[in-house]
Amino acid sequence: MGAIARYLIGGWIMGSGRFVFPLGTFIINISGSFLIGLFFAFAVDRYGLDGFWRPFFTIGFLGAYTTFSTFSLETLNLVENGSFFLATANVLASVLFSLVGTFAGILIGRSI
């Protein structure tokens, strides 16, 4: 389900315009980071949800939804095309905004 969601959302984002920057993967990884933070703070920390649902959602759905391998390939493609600035921006922004997304998800999950 996560891989299908990634394919559909990534295709929708990238189909909405012509981008050199891998915006689809960028948004998917940030939203996945937000969702894992939200899930952990709300479902695991607050309600103690564990057992089947924790690995199902974090490893199964979000593991398939976010993708480090696609991020790596798209970054290397930017390097090979001589877009060193965009490649560097992709690495730095992806890590920074994914951390911010996870933190925001935790804050929101704890406040619900």
> For 60-111, how does the pLDDT look when each residue is reduced to its tens digit (9 = 90+)?
999 999 988 889 989 999 999 999 999 999 999 999 999 999 999 999 999 9
> For 21-34, how does the pLDDT look when each residue is reduced to its tens digit (9 = 90+)?
999 999 999 999 99
How far is Cα 101 from Cα 39, in angstroms, rounded to an integer? 12
Query: First-to-last CA distance in the chain?
Result: 26
Element (H, E) at 101: helix 84-111
Handedness of CA 80, 81, 83, 86 (dihedral sign): negative
pLDDT of residue 47: 85
> For 37-64, how does the pLDDT look when each residue is reduced to its tens digit (9 = 90+)?
999 888 888 888 878 888 899 889 999 9
Q: Report whether 24 contacts 92 (CB < 8 A).
A: no
pLDDT of residue 49: 83
Q: Report whether 33 contacts 101 (CB < 8 A).
A: yes
